[in-house]
Structure 1
Amino acid sequence: MGSSSNGIQPAAISSGDGAAPAVDKDVDFANYFCTYAFLYHQKDMLTDRVRMDSYYNAVFQNKHHFAGKAVLDVGTGSGILAIWSAQAGARKVYAVEATKMADHARELVRANNLEGVVEVIEASIEDVNLPEKVDVIISEWMGYFLLRESMFDSVICARDRWLKPNGVMYPSHARMWVAPIRSGVGDQKKIDYDGAVDDWHHFVNDTKTHYGVDMSVLTKPYLEEQKKYYLQTSLWSNLHPNQVIGQPAIIKEIDCLTSTVNDIRNVRGSVSSLITAEIARLCGFGGWFDVHFKGRDDNPVKQEVELTTAPSEEFGTHWGQQVFLLHPPKRVAKGDDIRIKFDMIRSKQNHRLLEVEFDCEIRHSSGDPNPSFRKKFFIE
């Protein structure tokens, strides 16, 4: 269990369908895992009521999946999911955690008198050898826009190595959504970008005038850097539902029992969204996810539970939504149809980060010309 997305995961990942790019484990630990070794970060997740209530209800409303069973918690963090699994009647819980948070998890397990059931193992899941196969794999692996951080790779590895043939996954399914939105943030980002450009030109002139060095050769890479930061990097937001101006569309569905690393390494989809607001500015797109606890066809849950990170007035989450802003905004009206081709890949520089491209056409219901545009974004 983990983080603003959460959990823990390893550096080099392998699965039945091939390995991910090689990653330096020491660098990966310093850049990623260490974040989860701090209690303040765990607290951010433990105070997310949507997250906590969803997992709590999924476990305790479906005790038949846990009673007398062996459970594997991938990325246990503070150990809360492992503790709940034991309280729901599990015979044995293997709680795997790659950071020193494992020490805190052991203390918590002892304080709740469950050390005879819950075994905390400090290791990455790829390096663990368990004495048995398990009936349940539980993990809170979801990152921003579901797949940032690539932790699901580790869950897949655990599933392929340690889940019994009739075992269940908690959660069992996931979906990724996008929808057109309106927002004033894009205007401010453009102002900030223009300010950064002006500041650079003043800097170049001043440096040449006062110090005799011409810095203009660096203008192009500097402006590219600023453009990426201000205009192409997605933003975290808790959107209000009235900022969504069109029908949300599912761009990816994941069956946690059968999906492979190759299935999620490149996410592509073609969807359409009908504008539902009156005349509005299309300022960009919002992206979010939901996960479901359904069990499996031959071993279903008794009570299905959904955890959603969709825009909400009352039930915001620490995941929020990812916002992809357009510059300039596009004018749309009720009944217009936005055709979206979506393409998301992992960053070549860091496999835990993502690059997203929207290729869109607006089909105006008024009969006006149908503009198209393409925009690339970075989820960092």
Structure 2
Amino acid sequence: MGTTANGTSAATDKATSTSNGNATVDKGVDFANYFCTYAFLYHQKEMLSDRVRMDAYYNSVFNNKHHFIGKTVLDVGTGSGILAIWCAQTGAKKVYAVEATKMAEHARQLVKSNNLHDVVEVIEGSIEDITLPEKVDVIISEWMGYFLLRESMFDSVICARDRWLKPTGVMYPSHARMWLAPIRSGLADQKMSDYEGCMDDWHGFVNETNTYYGVDMSVLTKPFSEEQKKYYLQNSVWNNLHPNQVVGTCAILKEIDCLTVTVEDIFKIEASISLTITKEDTRLCGFGGWFDVHFNGRKENPAECEVELTTAPSVDDGTHWGQQVFLLHPPVRVNEKDEVLVNFSMSRSEENHRLMNVDLGFQIKLSSGKMLAPVRNKFYIE
């Protein structure tokens, strides 16, 4: 849930149409479904109140002044404008702060009230449509969505990089990783109970409709059940997990170099990983996914102070991103040293390129060597 993205990039449109047969994204629909949310100050406040997020960006900028002093910077999806302001405060010569929504007006006011309007230029428009007078030394953006890639804002950052970053330029952040781990959670039981309660209510509705109005609705029971299964059991859940809920080792699903990655590289994420259970006699209730990003500069121009922003399970409040949880129904009993072999695939929804579909298959190899039957689940990140 990063700061405001900029309309769908040409690269996104092309990838959408060639990879899954969809027509190019309608920018008007995209704005109504996505961008408008970020035009409200309450939403900006939520992100600005995330201390983990704010500290990481603040420290990465002010502890790496050599990347900013006397340099030209592009802030993609500036939102309130705070990243652009920090870049100017640390010594940037010029900052172009691009914002697709009317939040640009607030950003412009904030920049002026902090006496930085001679350095920071707020531009209202999508990064795909605007034109800058020069190439930039640094691109900074808070583009990360739930489980890193939901919202597909990174497409716009890639577009900005390819159009406006100098060959020697630096990306902030420079790298990103996606993680997955086995978890235990009472949410699995709660969601199943919610689904069963919903079906009990449906059956009562069918009986009453037949009794009082003489219409048998039972033919709709199966599609209603499938609809509710998706809502209660297949939609991934946003959650702030405690480290104690992680019952095994974690593994990297995807590593991204922001300087070289293409839209095609992130259009579909596929990985086969092995996770080892580290708790005795526990329940595998699902899998928790999170991400981290790093501010390392580039090989030829490294950061003097490398900074990590992680959304891993935390004993504190964590971040507004939390973790993406994929629940199993029913949970599986596991033990220490059991191995969970996971095949993971995440692709963009055909209905909305900013949402994700996940295929998650796994097979448990017991510490005795016995293999349990493979399980396959489909989830939706909406």
User: Residue 336 of structure 2: which of 321, 334, 337 is its match?
Assistant: 334
SS class of match (2:116): coil
SS class of match (1:126): coil
Alignment-derived partner of residue 349 in structure 2: 347
**2: CA distance, partners of 1:217 / 1:9:** 45
The 1:279/1:273 distance shift into structure 2, 3 A limit, reads same
**1: CA distance, partners of 2:198 / 2:317:** 36
Alignment-derived partner of residue 245 in structure 1: 247
Code of the residue aligned with 1:208 in structure 2: it is N
2:6–2:156 contact (8 Å) kept in structure 1? yes
How far residue 239 of structure 1 moved from its aligned partner, in angstroms, is: 0.3
SS class of match (2:128): helix
1:5–1:319 contact (8 Å) kept in structure 2? no
Task: List per-residue Cα deviations over 1:339-376 (Å, max 9, x = no partner).
Answer: 11100000011100001111111000034442321111
TM-score (norm 1): 0.97
Task: List per-residue Cα deviations over 1:104-129 (Å, max 9, x = no partner).
Answer: 00010001000000000110111110
The gaps in structure 2 that reach 5 residues or longer are 18-23
SS class of match (1:225): helix
1:17–1:261 contact (8 Å) kept in structure 2? no
1:208–1:214 contact (8 Å) kept in structure 2? yes
**1: CA distance, partners of 2:140 / 2:209:** 58
Task: List per-residue Cα deviations over 1:263-296 (Å, max 9, x = no partner).
Answer: 0000000110111111100000000000000111
Alignment-derived partner of residue 21 in structure 2: none
TM-score (norm 2): 0.96
User: Residue 156 of structure 2: which of 154, 176, 182 is its match?
Assistant: 154
Alignment-derived partner of residue 174 in structure 2: 172
Alignment-derived partner of residue 284 in structure 2: 282
2:69–2:90 contact (8 Å) kept in structure 1? yes
Task: List per-residue Cα deviations over 1:16-53 (Å, max 9, x = no partner).
Answer: 99443411111111110010011010000001000000
SS class of match (2:324): strand
How far residue 8 of structure 1 moved from its aligned partner, in angstroms, is: 1.8
**1: CA distance, partners of 2:16 / 2:350:** 11
How far residue 7 of structure 1 moved from its aligned partner, in angstroms, is: 2.4
**2: CA distance, partners of 1:86 / 1:20:** 37
Alignment-derived partner of residue 136 in structure 1: 138
**2: CA distance, partners of 1:315 / 1:249:** 23
State whether structure 2 residue 8 is matched by structure 1 residue 6. no
**1: CA distance, partners of 2:272 / 2:186:** 27
2:286–2:328 contact (8 Å) kept in structure 1? yes
Code of the residue aligned with 2:343 in structure 1: it is K
> Matched residue pairs, number?
376
Alignment-derived partner of residue 258 in structure 1: 260
Alignment-derived partner of residue 67 in structure 1: 69
Deviates more, 1:362-371 or 1:241-250: 362-371
**1: CA distance, partners of 2:214 / 2:229:** 28
**2: CA distance, partners of 1:363 / 1:115:** 61
The 1:69/1:16 distance shift into structure 2, 3 A limit, reads farther
SS class of match (2:228): helix
Detail structure 1 runs of 4+ shifted over 6 Å in the superposition: none
How far residue 205 of structure 1 moved from its aligned partner, in angstroms, is: 1.6
Alignment of 1:203-218 (within 5 A): 203-218=205-220
**2: CA distance, partners of 1:148 / 1:369:** 34
How far residue 186 of structure 1 moved from its aligned partner, in angstroms, is: 0.5
1:181–1:246 contact (8 Å) kept in structure 2? yes
SS class of match (1:264): helix
1:54–1:306 contact (8 Å) kept in structure 2? yes
Task: List per-residue Cα deviations over 1:149-170 (Å, max 9, x = no partner).
Answer: 0000000000000000000000
SS class of match (2:78): coil
1:340–1:360 contact (8 Å) kept in structure 2? yes
Code of the residue aligned with 1:233 in structure 2: it is N
1:363–1:371 contact (8 Å) kept in structure 2? no
Alignment-derived partner of residue 303 in structure 2: 301
Code of the residue aligned with 2:81 in structure 1: it is G
**2: CA distance, partners of 1:17 / 1:150:** 12
Deviates more, 1:361-370 or 1:249-258: 361-370
Superposed CA RMSD in Å reads: 1.2
**1: CA distance, partners of 2:178 / 2:150:** 12
Alignment-derived partner of residue 319 in structure 2: 317
Task: List per-residue Cα deviations over 1:175-215 (Å, max 9, x = no partner).
Answer: 00000000011101101101111111111121122122222
Code of the residue aligned with 1:99 in structure 2: it is T
**2: CA distance, partners of 1:200 / 1:289:** 39
How far residue 74 of structure 1 moved from its aligned partner, in angstroms, is: 0.3
Percentage identity across aligned positions? 71
SS class of match (1:125): coil
